[in-house]
Structure 1
Amino acid sequence: MRQDSKAELQRINQHIERLPLLPAVLFELMRHDKNDEKYYEKVLELSRADPPLASFIIGYANSAGSAPNKHITDIKVALTRVGAHRIVNLLTAKSIAKVFVPNSDEFKILWQHSIEVAVISSFVCRLMSDFELDPETAYIAGLMHDIGRFTMFSIIPDSFKEIEEQGWSDPDELYGSESESLGFSHAEVGYLAAKKLKLPELLCNAIRYHHNHKVWGSNIAMLLQELVIIIQFSDCLSILIEKNPSWIKWSDKELQENIVSHCIRPEFAGVNFPVATLSDALPSLMKNSQHLLESICAV
């Protein structure tokens, strides 16, 4: 790394040290196994002991997005209606949004991409029957995979905008432009930010390696391998959609061909991504992403 790059990264790290921590209740929720059959009861127990969390759950259960027939005041009814997993995902997004407030067009574009990657990752994970990874972890990792870009935009906005103006067309070009121009990438910055925010180690490493195409088939933990390639696939698909606004008019065959050619790398050998099912569901997934973005921007 060049000397000036090292100094810049050190400056970024100093700013990262001043980032506010995420709510303690979120750390507690992340600590529990989402596949545990008692997960719902644990979330309910925490919400009853944490007034802000209880208020958040009841507020969302009564929101337009949930659209109840009558006003809900009971925390158990509210949590049952919304779902424990969805509440944790929403709370995570809201908490991150309070650190990186979506108050500019650039930030909103970053948020839109991150939410799309989260939604796609969760959907794909549900269809990967031979994967041990759970969809909720895939969602959270997708939401946070570009936290380094959020951090760079907050701390070195001029350098961030300079990279954006170079007109990259896929995630690998972005990564290459950052490395060449700055001497470091948003994946490195994201890892530093994730450690500061005290995210689980699996998420920290997924953020760190989400541009490393040598992860699949390596000797690192299989759960991390699965998480990284799902993020890489979903990242490429979100960018494909962003760069091709007319995608909605493509035929099923065109969409599937583009997904295969732009999102599935040779290094993913042996992985059967659910391309046909995904292409059918994509309009609905993008609509869901838009609704989530509107919720985040209402922070």
Structure 2
Amino acid sequence: MEKAHKLQKASQLIAGTTDLPTIPIIATKVLELLEKPDVELDEVADLILTDQVMAARVIKIVNSPLYRTAQEISSVKRALVFLGFRHIRELALTCSFLEAFQGKDGVFDIRTFWEHSFGVGVVSKLIAQRARYHDVEKAYLAGITHDIGEVFFSYNMQHDFQKVLDEIKGRPHKLVETEERYFGTTHCEVGELIAQSWNFPPQYQEVIAHHHAPENATLEPTLVAIVNLADLFCSVRQLGYEGSEWVSFNLAEEGAWGILKNFAPHMRNLDVERFCYELDDKVSDIRELVKSVFEGMEV
């Protein structure tokens, strides 16, 4: 099916929704503030403290296994000093993404979704580091946000999306192909339109749109390839959605692997089996991260 037709269908589905998730205004202000060359850390901390949910999540995430602080951090300002300005942007977007989708009931367990999303973010960062990609934080954020279209289906198209998940459970059916049959579009197009409405940078929009077909990327195909491979790795290391237990892949046959090797020829020597074992060590950390982020909070 033509991309334009799928985007048109996605637009129709979104137009029929009255409660499309939005990025919290404080997160937007934080990101705008971080763009100022003379911004002070105290300004950012004071702004984050006006949103108690974001402030609490900043504390929880910075104390999670993801950042491995030497001792517990209990204040927003200390958290920001520890992170540095570059990582504040990463954390602000993470928290706003969490808040945009909290407090709703969907078809799949939302914590499973976050385990997958954080998993893809963490693995994207690891792959980016191995490939010597210039912006590992961008890879992390692109990994976290790649499946926002799935949440739309889970919340807003519950009856039909349950049929989609039932059909692929335990079977070698691709999710995007099954979505296309049921909805005339996929989570890639829906997510792309949501990302546009949130004014996400074009590179993030491209990852969301093409993470299942990185060969179609034109802006930053390497970034899309990184997220594609991270998505595949997570699907076979117990960080996928229910119904993906059958998933397996041959790295040498993946188009994303070819893109990554062209960008970083040294990746040809990657010991894939050893890398997968390294990912196993991250699985429990990612689950602990999700648990800590949501503990005592409405999801």
Report the TM-score, using the length of structure 1 for normalisation.
0.73
Deviates more, 1:206-215 or 1:60-69: 60-69
Distance across 2 between alignment mates of 1:102 and 1:264: 40
Shift in CA distance, 165/49, structure 1 to aligned 2, threshold 3 Å? closer
Distance across 1 between alignment mates of 2:203 and 2:11: 24
Tell me the equivalent position of 2:244: none
Tell me the equivalent position of 2:254: 265
State the Cα distance separating 1:167 from its structure 2 match.
Answer: 2.2
Q: In the alignment, is the contact (CA less than 8 A) between 2:147 and 2:208 conserved in 1?
A: yes
State the Cα distance separating 1:197 from its structure 2 match.
Answer: 1.8
Shift in CA distance, 92/292, structure 1 to aligned 2, threshold 3 Å? farther
Query: Among residues 50, 53, 71, which one is paired with 1:52 in the alignment?
Result: 50
Q: Matched residue of 2:282: which SS?
A: helix
Q: Matched residue of 2:191: which SS?
A: helix
Shift in CA distance, 86/185, structure 1 to aligned 2, threshold 3 Å? same
Distance across 1 between alignment mates of 2:61 and 2:177: 45
Q: In the alignment, is the contact (CA less than 8 A) between 1:116 and 1:286 conserved in 2?
A: yes
Long gaps (5+) in structure 1: 245-257
Shift in CA distance, 102/110, structure 1 to aligned 2, threshold 3 Å? farther
- Give the 5 Å matches for 1:209-248: 209-215=210-216, 220-221=218-219, 224-242=220-238
Shift in CA distance, 69/121, structure 1 to aligned 2, threshold 3 Å? closer
State the Cα distance separating 1:241 from its structure 2 match.
Answer: 1.8
Tell me the equivalent position of 1:91: 92
Q: In the alignment, is the contact (CA less than 8 A) between 1:210 and 1:231 conserved in 2?
A: yes
Q: Matched residue of 1:242: which SS?
A: coil
Alignment RMSD (CA, Å)? 4.1
State the Cα distance separating 1:128 from its structure 2 match.
Answer: 0.8
Task: Supply the AA of the counterpart residue of 1:51.
Answer: L
Distance across 2 between alignment mates of 1:226 and 1:6: 23
- Give the 5 Å matches for 1:272-283: 272=267, 274=270, 275=272, 278-283=275-280
Distance across 2 between alignment mates of 1:230 and 1:62: 23
Task: Supply the AA of the counterpart residue of 1:230.
Answer: I
Q: How many residues align?
A: 275
- Residue 115 (str. 1) matches residue 118 (str. 2): yes
Query: Among residues 131, 136, 148, which one is paired with 1:128 in the alignment?
Result: 131
Distance across 1 between alignment mates of 2:179 and 2:140: 25
State the Cα distance separating 1:179 from its structure 2 match.
Answer: 1.4
State the Cα distance separating 1:157 from its structure 2 match.
Answer: 0.8
- Residue 297 (str. 1) matches residue 286 (str. 2): no
Task: Supply the AA of the counterpart residue of 1:279.
Answer: C
Shift in CA distance, 62/296, structure 1 to aligned 2, threshold 3 Å? closer
Q: Matched residue of 2:213: which SS?
A: coil
Q: In the alignment, is the contact (CA less than 8 A) between 2:121 and 2:144 conserved in 1?
A: yes
Long gaps (5+) in structure 2: 241-246
State the Cα distance separating 1:284 from its structure 2 match.
Answer: 2.6
State the Cα distance separating 1:118 from its structure 2 match.
Answer: 0.7
Distance across 1 between alignment mates of 2:18 and 2:103: 21
Q: Matched residue of 2:50: which SS?
A: helix
Deviates more, 1:148-157 or 1:258-267: 258-267
Distance across 1 between alignment mates of 2:294 and 2:9: 30
State the Cα distance separating 1:19 from its structure 2 match.
Answer: 2.6
Q: In the alignment, is the contact (CA less than 8 A) between 2:229 and 2:257 conserved in 1?
A: no
Q: Percent identity?
A: 19
Q: In the alignment, is the contact (CA less than 8 A) between 1:121 and 1:230 conserved in 2?
A: yes
Shift in CA distance, 71/64, structure 1 to aligned 2, threshold 3 Å? closer
State the Cα distance separating 1:60 from its structure 2 match.
Answer: 0.7
Distance across 2 between alignment mates of 1:168 and 1:151: 20
Tell me the equivalent position of 1:19: 20
Distance across 2 between alignment mates of 1:26 and 1:239: 30
Shift in CA distance, 284/16, structure 1 to aligned 2, threshold 3 Å? farther
State the Cα distance separating 1:11 from its structure 2 match.
Answer: 4.4
Task: Supply the AA of the counterpart residue of 1:265.
Answer: E
State the Cα distance separating 1:150 from its structure 2 match.
Answer: 0.3
Tell me the equivalent position of 1:286: 283
Shift in CA distance, 13/259, structure 1 to aligned 2, threshold 3 Å? closer
Distance across 2 between alignment mates of 1:240 and 1:24: 37
Distance across 1 between alignment mates of 2:18 and 2:145: 18
State the Cα distance separating 1:180 from its structure 2 match.
Answer: 2.2
Q: Matched residue of 2:280: which SS?
A: helix
Q: In the alignment, is the contact (CA less than 8 A) between 2:123 and 2:230 conserved in 1?
A: yes
Report the TM-score, using the length of structure 2 for normalisation.
0.73
Q: In the alignment, is the contact (CA less than 8 A) between 1:179 and 1:185 conserved in 2?
A: yes
